[in-house]
Structure 1
Amino acid sequence: MASPVSIPFESIIQLDRSSGTPVYLQIAHQVINAIQRRYLPAGTRLPGTRILAKALQVHRNTIIMACQELDAQGWLEIHPNKGSFIIGKADPRPAKFQAGQTVQLIEYPSVTGFQFKKSSLLDNPIGYSKARLHLNDGLPDYRLTPLDQLSRYYNTSLKRKINRRHLGYQQAESNLYFRRQLANFLNLTRGLHVSPDNILLTRGTEMSLFITANLLLQPGDTVVVGTPSYFIMNMIFQQAGAHIKTVPVDGEGIDVEAVRKLCEKQAVRLLYITPHHHYPTTVTLSAGRRLDLLKLSAEFGFIILEDDFDYDFHYDKSPVLPLASADTSGMVVYCGSFGKSLAPGFRTGFVVAPENLIVELQKHLQVLDRQGDPLLEQVLGELIEEGEMHRLLKKSLQVYGARRKNMVELLNEYFSDQLQFEHPNGGLAFWLEWKKELNLAKFSKACEAKDVFIPRTLLYQQKNLTAMRMGFGHLDESEMEQVISIMREVLTNITIQQNE
């Protein structure tokens, strides 16, 4: 057994005096680590407090406090007139510490010591860049969120004693108030006929779609999506073990006749669709195809998973009602988010479906998110009840409508001879198709070099298609002009290089 003097504690204990952790706790924690890793075997007697204080260059009281902490946690036995000993019987095995060795106990393992299943399907495809200006697929501008107004609602809600009972773990009826208000809001704005029992609340649209897909799908099931399609949902379906089949999308939305032909050949479990504005092309599913699709679903028994990610944003006319509003057979599961015009931290997701499915989804959600966000739900419910949400939406739509108009003018000014696009009647993104052959990966890389980041998920390069989805909602007029002018400059440089 090593004597207390022969163990160079200054090589085992590395102190960081700039750390927010008190020095005595740093000492205690690293001694515990040394014990657990057998650098300090059981039965080892520690040096006296004065000797250890001198070795570590700390005050003796710091060592006393560290020993008291080790004693309190059960790692040290302090015997009067004998000394302090590492807890447990003496370990006959030699200590791992070797003379002259410096031990880094504060490092965390860089890799696991075991094997586990890895998924390439869920690799983050969005990417990151230090570029000053970023494009996205149609996200709102968080800078428009009325933070002062929301803080007042939060403050008032916290002060109400009746709301404090909701601050614990969620109970079955703890979010009934918000679900009741949300049901009223959805019935009014989307032509639904639902009650609070038809609504499941989640942290966001992706969580709604993830738990719904994983409940409804079994490995080997067939899922139908339009092409081009939403990359995240493809990842979710593949992770669930489903086989994805694609059908064309044209100016009227998804090709329903192609869906019928596919159903006649094989069993289809689920069809995923964004009918209000198809992702990524922004095309709205025509009224005739909506009716045909609902009939087809009832005939062949496949589920329609309706993702209404941007229903709140429409400009020229009233939005087309969701498929769920006309569903009489219980075949549509409707997912969306509430508060989309607010900053992400103030939004919530929801699933609307027949009650029996909501009950089962709630079981799965309870495992993933037992706590929920009752305070946010209370605030959002009050925003609906007092009419504030309608006013906020109306105000933000004026801003986004102006930005859409500005984007149209810039695209026509800079790219009238290069691009083909339709004016979207809703949503926060354009679908741009390039008239000439262009390497989009090279184009994106050149734009990033000039401080404009275009994620690869916005680029759609196929044999007969060179297109990109471009969000405009998060850019003000100045930022928009900078982005478009840089894109034009890059395109001009590429054209010159190709002609040389």
Structure 2
Amino acid sequence: MFPYKTSLILNRKSKEPLYLQLSNQFINLIKEGKLTSGTKLIGSRSLAELLNIHRKTVVSCYEELSLQGWVESISKKGTFVHNNLPLLDQSKLIEAQSKNEKNKSGFTFYANEIFPHKVSVKKENTIYINDGTSDGRLIPTEEIARTYRRIASKKNIYKEMGYGSTFGNDKLRLTLVEYLNTTRGLQITKDNILITRGSQMGIWLSSQLLLKSKDVIVVGETNYASADYNFLDQKATLKRVAVDENGLVIDQIEELCKKQQIKAVYVTSHHHHPTTVTLSAERRIHLLNLAKEYNFAIIEDDYDYDFNYNHAPILPLASHDNNGNVIYIGSICKTVAPVFRIGYLIASKEFVNEAAKLRGFVDRQGDALLELTFADFIKSGDLDRHIRKVMKIYKQRRDLFCQLLKDKLSNYFEFKIPKGGMAVWVKLNKKYSWKQVEIEARKHQLEIGEWQRYDLANTKHNAIRIGFASYNEEEIHKLISALKITMIAITN
């Protein structure tokens, strides 16, 4: 007889009901082949006595097993393991269970060879260089939480809890239309805006709709790596043009247009990623004229429009677009905090409609409560107040970072003080390599990060972005100190 008493162990302190504990253990015994097809199970009364439980618990267990198709009850005969259960490969099952791992799939699939695999396991007491992110300690969490609670407690909030529009929450769309028309000189309506989960989704949607195999998209010799990966994943052909102190060299784009069909140009016009330079007014007009003449799209990624320390922001290309060539992408993630996945894609109505259709198949809709919260956050003026507050702090941090970099590390690095943004483009002396720096820095609790992504075109410029905004003054001193110790060690 099967050893029920020793094989079935019940935990009376568990939140899981006893009958489910029992039925799950029976399922495992059947899967392992210890109770084979056709085996008659012990009677409910006898099992209840063996396990010292109520008979109704066993009856409920057998009913659950029957509903799931593991057993069948035959009148006046008893309960049996179902005869129609297929045999499992027990050797492989037992081997997998003994390892308790699921590292390998039992099927083939198409692995992505374009997107890099990022593993972010952070160690304590280690400084991590980033390419320009906001400081989470400055997030106006109380204001956001207060607004969220107020919205969530409204009597009619249940109306926002179902499936909504793939375009995003209407209130946020209307709020952003008013806000962006005022602050960025746009001339859009609700029909021109799609709410996304950050800029990255806007880039992905644009790539999917614009590019197919061998389509040509123009990017800078240095460019935002994630954008490049999106375009390459579409099997597009990347044509790179130079980037100087005035941004993308538009004359080179014009020469390309004369030779072949260009499908799109990707530009971070306000602060070029990664070099932080601003696309000049003359080149902006030149690019818009080319887009109109040669009928290509401009993907304008305005990822940090709000952060300018020396002058007022230059209006985006989208504000001068009268021909429907610009796809304007931005987000609140960079301005407030990356955790709030709210961005926007702005374009012609027909392009936005198609983007919303595509978005619906990969992400049915956004977080309606969060979108309503940020609609109020923007409309109340809290966003502008937050921007003014952090602007002062980030400018102080930029100035301190650049001063220390100049005073303590000028023998090793070249840089220009950025006019805006949250990072500095730092060029390493050609006598050294970032690989050397990475290895040595790790010994001094400093992680350089993915420095290779700044030169996907392999131009050997030997520069990376180093963010300053997310570090307070003490942390900036520690970062520069660790970097100096690293460079002295390499030199010696």
Query: Same fold judged by TM-score > 0.5?
Result: yes
Offset at residue 429 of structure 1 (A):
0.4
SS of 1:344's equivalent? coil
Q: How has the CA–CA distance of structure 1 residues 379 and 45 changed in structure 2, closer, same or farther, with 3 Å as cutoff?
A: same
Indicate yes or no: 2:342 matched with 1:352.
no
Could you tell me whether the CA contact under 8 Å between 2:168 and 2:194 is conserved in 1?
no
Partner of 1:489: 485
Secondary structure of the residue that 1:32 maps to in structure 2? helix
- Equivalent in 381, 389, 400 of residue 394 of structure 2: 400
Give the deviation of 1:458 after TM superposition: 6.5
CA distance, structure 2, for counterparts of residue 113 and residue 396 of structure 1: 50
Amino acid at match of 2:106: G
Give 5+ residue unaligned stretches, structure 2. Answer: none
Matched residues in 1 for 2:87 and 2:290: separation?
74
Cα pair 2:195 2:342 within 8 Å, conserved: yes
Which residue of the partner structure matches residue 466 of structure 2?
470
| Residues in 1 aligned to 2:253 and 2:441: alpha-carbon distance in whole angstroms | 39
Distance in 1 (alpha carbons) for counterparts of 2:105 and 2:166: 39
Measure, in 1, the Cα distance between the counterparts of 2:77 and 2:6: 23
Cα 1:232/1:460, change in 2 over 3 Å: closer
Rate the CA distance shift 1:350–1:49 in 2: closer, same or farther, 3 A: same
Give yes or no for the alignment of 1:306 onto 2:300. Answer: yes
- Name the aligned partner's letter for residue 309 of structure 1: Y
2 CA distance for matches of 1:50 and 1:30? 18
In the aligned structure 2, how far is the partner of 1:243 from the partner of 1:151?
Answer: 45
The answer (yes or no) to whether the contact 2:160–2:369 under 8 Å persists in 1 is: yes
The separation in 1 between residues aligned to 2:96 and 2:284, in whole angstroms, is: 68
Query: CA, structure 1 residues 416+23, in 2 after alignment: closer, same or farther (shift >3 Å)?
Result: farther
CA contact (8 A) 2:19 2:60 kept: yes
SS of equivalent to 1:424: coil
CA distance in 2, matches of 1:463, 1:314: 29
The 1:432–1:102 alpha-carbon spacing in structure 2 relative to 1, beyond 3 Å, is closer
Q: Is the 8 A contact 2:225 2:454 kept in 1?
A: no
Q: Which amino acid aligns with 2:177?
A: A
CA distance change for structure 1 residues 304 and 39 in 2, over 3 Å: closer, same or farther?
A: farther
Q: Give the structure 2 partner of residue 69 of structure 1.
A: 64
**In the TM superposition, what is the alpha-carbon distance from 1:376 to its structure 2 partner?**
1.0
Per-residue CA deviation, residues 287-340 of structure 1 (Å, 9 max, x unaligned), is 111111111111222211110011111111101111111111111111110253
User: Structure 1's 476 and 94: CA in aligned 2 closer, same or farther, altered over 3 A?
Assistant: closer
The answer for the alignment partner of 1:115 in structure 2 is 108
CA displacement at 1:347 relative to structure 2 = 4.0
Residue by residue over 1:138-182, the C-alpha shift from the partner in whole angstroms, topping out at 9 and shown as x without a partner, is 111111111111111011111222333112111378711111110
1:291 paired with 2:285, answer yes
Would the alpha carbon gap of residues 473 and 173 (structure 1) be closer, same or farther in structure 2, given more than 3 Å must change? closer
CA distance in 2, matches of 1:43, 1:35: 11
2:243 to 234, 241, 249: 249
Q: What are the equivalent positions in structure 2 for 1:128-277 lying under 5 Å apart?
A: 128-130=121-123, 132-171=126-165, 175-277=169-271
More off after superposition, 206-215 vs 129-138: 129-138
Deviates more, 1:152-161 or 1:463-472: 463-472
What amino acid maps onto 1:209 in structure 2? I
Q: Does 1:42 align with 2:37?
A: yes
Q: Partner residue of 2:82?
A: 87
Q: Which region of structure 1 is more displaced relative to structure 2, 221-230 or 130-139?
A: 130-139
Quote the Cα distance in structure 2 between the aligned partners of 1:447 and 1:103: 41
Asked if structure 2 preserves the Cα contact closer than 8 Å seen for 1:272 and 1:307, the reply is yes
Q: Which amino acid aligns with 1:484?
A: I
RMSD: 2.9
Percent identity of equivalent pairs: 35
1-side partners of 2:88 and 2:277: how far apart? Answer: 70
What is aligned with 1:426?
A: 420
Find the residue that maps to 1:473 and give its secondary structure. coil
Residues 75 and 166 from structure 1, CA distance in 2 versus in 1: closer, same or farther, beyond 3 angstroms? same
Q: Distance in 2 between matches of 1:183 and 1:94?
A: 61
The answer to whether the 8 A contact 2:242-2:248 is kept is: yes
Matches within 5 A, 1:320-339: 320-339=314-333
Contact 2:134–2:422 at 8 Å: present in 1 too? Answer: yes
Cα pair distance change 1:238/1:124, threshold 3 Å: same
Which residue of 2 is the match for residue 385 of structure 1?
A: 379
**Farther-moved stretch of structure 1 (162-171 vs 196-205):** 162-171
1:39/1:95 contact within 8 Å kept: no
Q: For the residues of structure 1 that align with 2:49 and 2:257, how far apart are their CA atoms?
A: 80
2: distance between equivalents of 1:475 and 1:260? 41
> Does the 8 A contact of 2:441 with 2:448 survive in 1?
yes
Segment drifting more, 258-267 vs 14-23: 14-23
Q: TM-score, normalised by structure 2?
A: 0.90
CA gap of 1:214–1:7, structure 2 versus 1, over 3 A, is farther
461-470 or 185-194, larger mean C-alpha shift: 461-470
Instruction: State how far apart, in whole Å, the 2-side matches of 1:16 and 1:494 are.
Output: 60
